[in-house]
């Protein structure tokens, strides 16, 4: 007997030729007539009783894998002095047809060695064993001989072949977990379930989409119900909404003076807030709904579950097996080449207010991990003013008249020192304790802009306490403190909605803080901070390249941890300076100063550790169409080509880079995704506060009508001007030319 390469080889015992078409019961084998078989080592046997087709190959053990077909299997049936009998089984459906389309039950023609070499594709179906030489979806065929060779084959005895077939159960090869058989691909890695459908894996290959109450049905929740279809057909695009709301000021001035304003505001609040699941559904520990996700408030919650950890690529199945280096990504696409000013006129005071406000609920726990938070209030609780623990709160309280501790310097009120309070603060080594100011958030000594706002809220709390004590002389310290805190929470929400979000949106519709708008609709007054919201809110492109106060320009080295600037200039001078200095544009990329680029790198690293889903999956989750290309995302051909090279697929783009690299809307600070994804988190967190509920939103909660009116009339201008001697220019946008450098007004409060 010659082997596949034409050299003589011994014939194994029990293997020989039979007459053409000779029946072997229960197997039926057939091969071309003739005593010599000019083949590349192949014949086939049908086993009707078992429902398989056997392909056998005799020759050297093959080493060249090629793609196989699902539902079949290959394995060694016999071996003899380096030669192997490779058996391949083809699974059949109960009706007798093959288990996959397009594959004949038996080969119609055996290839001759005179035929041009071609790859054979065989099914894979064997369980793991030391003799198995396959992996899921792959079979190892015998390569065709390089030249003519005569191969004389005799079938194994029927009893041996039957035994071999019975020992090879017909199960999917992907169920195998041998050393050469990697686990089957999790079907949920494809993110098949659309429109908020939930993917549930069954077995190894199957999944189901739970479409309950999504308004869709079908295997992947893609078939809309009638009312869903009608609503989608009539709903304009986000770009259309943005255009209407940012044009026609005269029209919106009319709307803002009518009841239509309340109707539109209610619509905005309900539509946006309902995009956020309440109660929370996922956290970073589990990719499925669990009690832990609801009850364990030390976790950030999540809108979308993590990418399954057994996926072929970090982003599921799309893109490359290794994501681009975060440092390279930030250097190329996020690092500022030249300062890009925000076209909406956003100023530096807005940037500091954003940092100060969000640091009450964005407090990632370094000790527990990036999926955990130390801000257990999960919302607007003013933990950055009062401390996030009772122990820290007590260190900051005066325990007299409900007030917080303070010190008077240059005739004005400032936060107390760390030496007096013993409240821990983060300052660089060498700063004496008497020079460290103690406030609710331990990191606010980092930037003078943060300490300016901390000082304003300290003054506001003590001012409100004086008002309450005058109206309620019988109240104890504790009641004065707790009521003042509720008033300041209300003031904060009012300022954030009507000043901060109003500026950020650029809308001519005048936003309104009125909790009663939601009293007639279903709404849950509880909030949980999501890790996606934390990621989204890293707006470091706002920060300039230097900081201008008066006639002096400060570098980052001179500005960061500057403990004397607040006392040297005073609150009103710093507010005026920060209100006049432009901030950077957030969207579009290439606008983060090098001194803080490491923060963006850390955000990208965090998203990978927490396995956030791709950017396009979040767009779909919030009702946006996924981008089809990087050109579609950025609007810049060169940048798109580089992103394509790094990621390989637009569906593999990460969440945070996608938000910052998305092209900005016309005359806007960022792109549509930041608005459409960020606004629901923001509005749900603000209106989900307990003080906005029917049980809290009443005069008695705030100490009577006087306290209630402080909340309802709050504004950024009043917060500043009620707590300084002279009222500076204060706004979230740089002054228009008409504002000029006019004289400051007396505050009338101090």
Annotation: binding site = 272, 540
How far, in Å, CA of 55 to CA of 46, rounded?
9
Both structure tokens of 108: 């119609």
How far apart, in Å, are the Cα atoms of 739 and each of 21, 576, 730?
101, 12, 11
Cα–Cα distance measured from residue 630 to residue 534, given in angstroms and rounded to the nearest whole number: 24
What is the SS3 assignment for 548? strand
Residue 554 annotated as catalytic: no
What gap in Å lies between CA 231 and CA 222, rounded to an integer?
15
Backbone angles phi, psi at 282, to 5 degrees: -130, 160
Contact 332, 604 (CB under 8 A): no
What is d(CA 363, CA 35) in angstroms, rounded to the nearest whole number? 82
| Distance between CA atoms of residues 694 and 347, nearest Å | 36
Q: Length of the chain in residues, anyone?
A: 750
Query: How distant, in Å, are the alpha carbons of 98, 187, 260, 540 from that of 209?
Result: 28, 11, 40, 38
Which helix (H) or strand (E) element contains residue 658? helix 655-661
Answer yes or no: are the C-beta atoms of 490 and 497 closer than 8 Å.
Answer: no
Q: What is the CA radius of gyration of the chain?
A: 35
359 classed as catalytic: yes
Residue 193's nearest CA partner among 229, 215, 218, 213 is 218
Residues at the binding site for substrate are 272
* Beta-ladder partners of 282: 302
Q: Distance between CA atoms of 718 and 481, rounded to whole angstroms?
A: 21
End-to-end CA distance of the chain: 109
Q: Which of 300, 500, 537, 569 is catalytic?
A: 537
Q: What is the rounded CA–CA span in Å between residue 649 and residue 620?
A: 16
Tokens of 552: 């002096």
169: phi then psi, degrees, rounded to nearest 5:
-65, 145
Binding site feature residues for heme b:
540
- Alpha-carbon gap, residue 750 to 745, rounded angstroms: 12
Tokens 């007054």 label which residue?
525
Which own/partner contact pairs does 640-648 have at CB distance under 8 Å and 24+ positions apart?
Answer: 642/332, 642/333, 643/333, 646/324, 646/329, 647/319, 647/320, 647/323, 647/324, 648/318, 648/319, 648/320
Q: Residue 145 and residue 560: Cα distance in Å, rounded?
A: 74
Query: Distances in Å between the alpha carbon of 541 and those of 309, 582, 665, 706?
Result: 32, 12, 16, 40
Give, in degrees to the nearest 5, the angle at Cα 471 between 415 and 497.
60
Spot the catalytic one: 134, 359, 378, 538: 359
List the structure tokens of 200: 């549930």
Per-residue HEC secondary structure of 525-544 comes to CCCCCEHHHHHHCCCHHHCC
Phi, psi of 640 (to 5 degrees): -60, -40
Task: Show which residues are catalytic.
Answer: 359, 537
């Amino acid at each position: 007997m010659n082997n596949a390469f034409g050299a003589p080889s011994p014939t194994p015992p029990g293997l020989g030729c039979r007459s053409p078409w000779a029946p072997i019961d229960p197997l039926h084998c057939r091969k071309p007539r003739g005593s010599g078989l000019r083949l590349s080592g192949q014949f086939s046997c049908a086993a009707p009783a078992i429902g398989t087709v056997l392909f056998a190959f005799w020759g050297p053990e093959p080493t060249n894998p090629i793609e196989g077909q699902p539902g079949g299997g290959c394995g060694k049936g016999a071996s003899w002095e380096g030669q192997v009998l490779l058996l391949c089984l083809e699974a059949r459906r109960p009706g007798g047809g093959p288990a996959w389309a397009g594959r004949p039950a038996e080969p119609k023609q055996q290839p001759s060695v005179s035929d041009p070499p071609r790859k054979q594709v065989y099914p894979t179906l064997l369980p793991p064993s030391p003799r198995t030489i396959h992996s899921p979806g792959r079979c190892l065929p015998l390569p065709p001989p390089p030249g003519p060779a005569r191969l004389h084959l005799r079938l194994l005895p029927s009893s041996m072949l039957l035994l071999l077939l019975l020992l090879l159960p017909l199960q999917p090869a992907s169920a195998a977990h041998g050393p050469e058989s990697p686990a089957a691909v999790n079907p949920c890695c494809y993110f098949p379930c659309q429109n908020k459908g939930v993917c549930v894996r069954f077995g190894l290959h199957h999944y189901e989409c739970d479409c309950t109450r999504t308004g869709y049905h079908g295997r992947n929740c893609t078939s809309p119900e009638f009312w869903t279809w009608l609503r989608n057909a009539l709903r304009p695009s986000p770009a259309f909404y943005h255009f209407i709301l940012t044009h026609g000021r005269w029209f919106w001035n009319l709307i803002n003076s009518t009841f239509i304003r309340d109707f539109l505001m209610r619509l905005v609040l309900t539509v946006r807030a309902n995009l956020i699941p309440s109660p929370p559904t996922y956290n970073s520990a589990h990719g499925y709904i669990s009690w832990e996700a609801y009850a364990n408030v030390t976790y950030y919650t999540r809108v979308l579950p993590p990418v399954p950890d057994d996926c072929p690529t970090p982003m599921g199945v799309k893109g490359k097996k290794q994501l681009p280096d975060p440092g390279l990504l930030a250097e190329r696409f996020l690092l500022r080449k030249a300062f890009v000013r925000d076209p909406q006129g956003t100023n530096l005071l807005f940037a500091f207010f954003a940092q100060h406000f969000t640091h009450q609920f964005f407090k990632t726990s370094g000790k527990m991990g990036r999926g955990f938070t130390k801000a257990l209030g999960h919302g607007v609780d003013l933990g950055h003013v009062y401390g996030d623990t009772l122990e820290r709160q007590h260190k900051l309280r005066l325990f007299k008249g409900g007030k917080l501790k303070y010190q008077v310097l240059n005739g004005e009120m400032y936060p107390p020192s760390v030496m007096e309070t013993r409240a821990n603060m983060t300052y660089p080594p060498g700063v004496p304790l008497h020079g460290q100011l103690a406030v609710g958030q331990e990191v606010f000594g980092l930037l003078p802009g943060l300490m300016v706002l901390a000082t304003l809220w300290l003054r506001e709390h003590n001012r409100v306490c004086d008002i309450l004590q005058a109206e309620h002389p019988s109240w104890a310290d504790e009641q004065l403190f707790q009521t003042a805190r509720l008033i300041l929470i209300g003031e904060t929400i009012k300022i954030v909605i009507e000043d901060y979000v109003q500026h950020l949106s650029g809308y001519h519709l005048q936003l309104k803080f009125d909790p009663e708008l939601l009293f007639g609709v279903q709404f849950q007054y509880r909030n949980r901070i999501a890790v996606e919201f934390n990621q989204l809110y890293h707006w470091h492109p706002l920060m300039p390249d230097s900081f201008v106060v008066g006639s002096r320009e400060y570098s980052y080295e001179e500005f960061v941890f500057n403990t004397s600037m607040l006392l040297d200039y005073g609150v009103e001078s710093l507010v005026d300076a920060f209100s006049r200095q432009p901030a950077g544009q957030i969207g579009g990329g290439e606008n983060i100063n090098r001194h803080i680029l490491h923060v963006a790198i850390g955000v990208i690293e965090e998203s990978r550790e927490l396995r956030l889903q791709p950017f396009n999956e979040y767009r779909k989750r919030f009702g946006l169409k996924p981008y089809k290309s990087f050109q579609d995302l950025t609007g810049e051909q060169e940048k798109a080509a580089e992103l394509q090279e790094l990621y390989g697929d637009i569906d593999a783009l990460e969440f945070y880079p996608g938000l910052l690299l998305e092209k900005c809307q016309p005359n806007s600070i960022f792109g549509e995704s930041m608005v459409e994804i960020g606004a629901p988190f923001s509005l749900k967190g603000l209106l989900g506060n307990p003080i906005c509920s029917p049980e809290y939103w009443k005069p008695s909660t705030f100490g009577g009508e006087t306290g209630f009116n402080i909340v309802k009339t709050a504004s950024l201008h009043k917060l500043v001007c009620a707590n300084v001697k002279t009222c500076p220019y204060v706004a979230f946008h740089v002054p228009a030319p008409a504002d000029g450098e006019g004289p400051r007004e007396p505050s009338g409060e101090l």
